[in-house]
A and B are shown apart, each in its own frame.
Chain A
Amino acid sequence: MSKIISVHSFRGGTGKSNTTANLTALIAQAGNRVGVIDTDIQSPGIHVLFGLDEDHMDKSLNDYLWGRCAIEETAYDVGPTLKVGEGNVAIMSGGIYLIPSSLKVGEIARVLREGYDVSILNDGFQDLVSRLDLDYLLIDTHPGLNEETLLSIAISDVLVLILRPDQQDFQGTAVTVEVARKLDVQRMLLVVNKVLPSFDFDSLRKQVEDTYHTPVAGILPLSEDMVRLASRGVFCLEYPNHPLTKRLKDIAEQVMAEG
């Protein structure tokens, strides 16, 4: 039974795309066929982490939304090109199919100017899963709440909400949790990211779980190595033995576990 996982945050800059890319890679390494779709049409970016050059991006999600092609034609098999530490090719026992959004100004402009049929996006999610025979589809969303984000949440089997230990994030997450409950999201997991290593992680976990009545799948420390990588690759592949990778693996296992 395939699963749709939305990774979302109320505010930008939480590390949502990085977390999505890492979860994608870890779930694929566990032997699954994984799709990852960039629905952040206004400000796409996850393709950078997977090393997909925009010059080699023939088709994108935008083409599908305007009826120019089938959704599976916008999927790029990025698994074979991923590198692990020291430049070796990553071993993916599953596979990774990336559906990027367009980076062309005119295409982003068209979405903002003309909008698109949200039903088509919903069909696209389901068609991707069936036509690419995916075990998991991860959706990288636009921060905040808009139509496509609400749709992604509504159709998800698991919603992963990313927040930082920050008062604005805490308030925004409260809103998102309430909305997700109204949309009958099947299962919700919180990830607290960019936490100063000096913080008491156990205490923070308890505080967040008590506040939102939602399980915390992981607390990720602010990592200098992650900052240095600067989205030039997928962290867990570049640093397979890093303590942060271990925490990311724990989160991936919870995402894959039955709720």
Chain B
Amino acid sequence: MSSGLFQRLQDELDAQEKAAGLSMADVLALPDPLRNLVNWMIREQQVELTEIMEYADQDRNATASMLESLLEKGLVSKNERQGKVYYRIRLAPKRRREIPLNIWESMEKIIDQQQGGEIS
């Protein structure tokens, strides 16, 4: 992975608002090497800085700076466990569907009625 890609990611992140995480559809739209990195982090669940450095073939400063930007934008989360710091991709919550709220109450009523034999 070339250092230019981290810079490209940095430029893209600078132009973005803070997000509630990455959707899987967002992942598909990432440029190849970054997508590979994100796919790998999702599969691994959580990884340490040194593991990311090794995977991306980047030095500590470039990797730490990239992670800080991702943290700031809400795309990565960081947690500490037993003295080690782990990073993980923040996946965006699945968005709700835009349907009228009362449609489900109506459906439940219909099903209850059907089960009660009131509707043939």
Residues in A lying within 8 Å of B, measured CB to CB: 105-106, 109, 111-119, 122-123, 126, 147-148, 150-151, 154-155, 179, 182-184
Task: Decide yes or no whether B10 CB sits under 8 A from chain A.
Answer: no
How many A-B pairs have beta carbons closer than 8 Å: the answer is 72
Top 8 closest pairs, chain A to chain B, by CB? A150-B24, A109-B104, A115-B94, A118-B91, A184-B39, A119-B91, A115-B96, A112-B97
Selecting from B40-48, B59-67, B78-86, the interface stretch reads B40-48
With a cutoff of 8 Å between Cβ atoms, the chain B residues found around residue A184 in the complex are 35-36, 39-40
Residues in B lying within 8 Å of A, measured CB to CB: 21, 23-25, 27-28, 35-36, 39-40, 42-43, 45, 88, 90-97, 99, 101, 104, 107-108, 111
The minimal Cβ–Cβ distance linking B39 to chain A, given in whole angstroms, is 4
The minimal Cβ–Cβ distance linking A81 to chain B, given in whole angstroms, is 25
Residue of B nearest to A151 (CB): B24
Cα separation A106 to B94 with both chains bound (whole Å):
18
With a cutoff of 8 Å between Cβ atoms, the chain A residues found around residue B35 in the complex are 182, 184
With a cutoff of 8 Å between Cβ atoms, the chain A residues found around residue B107 in the complex are 105, 109
The minimal Cβ–Cβ distance linking B98 to chain A, given in whole angstroms, is 10
With a cutoff of 8 Å between Cβ atoms, the chain B residues found around residue A182 in the complex are 28, 35
Q: Find the residue from B40, B45, B107 having the highest chain A CB count within 10 A.
A: B45
Residue of B nearest to A152 (CB): B24
Cα separation A115 to B20 with both chains bound (whole Å):
14
With a cutoff of 8 Å between Cβ atoms, the chain B residues found around residue A126 in the complex are 45
Interface of A is mostly: helix
Contact: A113 with B99, CB < 8 Å?
yes
A119-B91, A147-B94 known; A179+B28 contact, CB < 8 A: yes
With a cutoff of 8 Å between Cβ atoms, the chain B residues found around residue A118 in the complex are 23-24, 91-94
Contact: B91 with A151, CB < 8 Å?
yes
Instruction: List 12 additional A-B contacts (Cβ < 8 Å) besides A113-B96, A150-B28.
Output: A105-B108, A112-B99, A113-B97, A115-B95, A122-B91, A147-B24, A147-B25, A148-B94, A150-B27, A183-B28, A184-B35, A184-B40
Residue of B nearest to A155 (CB): B43
Q: Find the residue from B21, B40, B91, B107 having the highest chain A CB count within 10 A.
A: B91
A116-B93, A117-B93, A118-B91 known; A106+B104 contact, CB < 8 A: yes
Cα separation A116 to B23 with both chains bound (whole Å):
12
Contact: A123 with B45, CB < 8 Å?
yes
The minimal Cβ–Cβ distance linking A142 to chain B, given in whole angstroms, is 11
Contact: B96 with A112, CB < 8 Å?
yes
With a cutoff of 8 Å between Cβ atoms, the chain B residues found around residue A112 in the complex are 96-97, 99
Cα separation A28 to B21 with both chains bound (whole Å):
37
Cα separation A116 to B95 with both chains bound (whole Å):
8
With a cutoff of 8 Å between Cβ atoms, the chain A residues found around residue B42 in the complex are 122, 151, 154-155
The minimal Cβ–Cβ distance linking A215 to chain B, given in whole angstroms, is 21
Cα separation A179 to B36 with both chains bound (whole Å):
13
With a cutoff of 8 Å between Cβ atoms, the chain B residues found around residue A116 in the complex are 93-94
The minimal Cβ–Cβ distance linking A12 to chain B, given in whole angstroms, is 18
The minimal Cβ–Cβ distance linking A184 to chain B, given in whole angstroms, is 4
